[in-house]
Structures are given as C-alpha cells and as structure tokens.
C-alpha cells in the first residue's frame, strides 16, 4: 500500500524524480499550490474512495499522516 500511495502522491503533486519521505510535510513542497490541493483531493477520492471534510484533511500534515488516513479508511471497508 505504501509504495502505491507514494506513486499516486508523486503523480498528483507532480513530484517527478524526488525522494518522498513519510516525515515530509507535503504542503511545504515547492510544487505545492492551491491547484495541487485539488489533485490531492481527487487522488484520495478516486484511488481510495476517501470522502473527507477539509477541516479534517487540514489536520493531516505529513505524507505519513495521509498514509495512515488511507490505512484507517481501508480497514473500515
């Protein structure tokens, strides 16, 4: 799950050729913008079926937080 997620995240945020670590705060990436935020929401919805209110998503700071969100969501299914 982790490997696929990193691939999906890199595609959504257009992080070509970068090393992505779980401790990275993804909103601090140079590539981050309000347009990339849409891509992230779209990826969580289309790849993982995650519906999340923005105030909850905004509490997720790191790549690891997102991975945990997905893990918790898929364990509920």
Partner 1 sequence: MGLLSFNNVGITGIKAAVPVKIINNYEYDLFFKKEDIKEIIDKIGVRERRFADEKTCSSDLCFAAAEKLISEMNINREEIDLLVFISQTPDFRMPSTSVLLQERLKLPTGTIAFDINLGCSAFLYGLSIVYSMLSAGQLRKALILDGETRSKVYSLKDRKTGFLFGDGGVAALIERDERFGKSFFSLNSDGSRESLIKINAGGYRRMSSCETVKEKVVDEYGNIRSEEQGYMNGADVFNFVIREVPRDFHRLLDFSGTDVSAIDYFVFHQANSYINGYLAKKLKLPVDKIPSTIHKFGNTSSVSIPLTIVSELRNKLEGRKHLLLSGFGVGLTWGTALIDLMNCYIGEIVEI
Interface residues with partner 1 (CB under 8 A) are 33-35, 37-38, 41-42, 45-46, 51-54, 57
d(CA 24, CA 77): 27
Residue (23 or 51) nearer to partner 1, CB: 51
Rounded least distance, CB 15 to partner 1, Å: 15
What is the chain's Cα-based Rg? Answer: 12
d(CA 77, CA 71): 10
Rounded least distance, CB 72 to partner 1, Å: 18
Rounded least distance, CB 58 to partner 1, Å: 10
d(CA 40, CA 46): 10
């Amino acid at each position: 799950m982790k490997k696929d997620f990193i691939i999906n995240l890199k595609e959504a945020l257009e992080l070509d050729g970068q090393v992505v670590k779980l401790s990275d705060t993804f909103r601090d990436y140079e590539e981050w913008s309000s347009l990339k935020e849409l891509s992230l929401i779209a990826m969580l919805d289309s790849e993982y079926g995650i519906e999340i209110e923005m105030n909850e998503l905004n509490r997720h700071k790191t790549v690891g937080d997102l991975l945990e969100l997905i893990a918790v969501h898929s364990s509920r299914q």
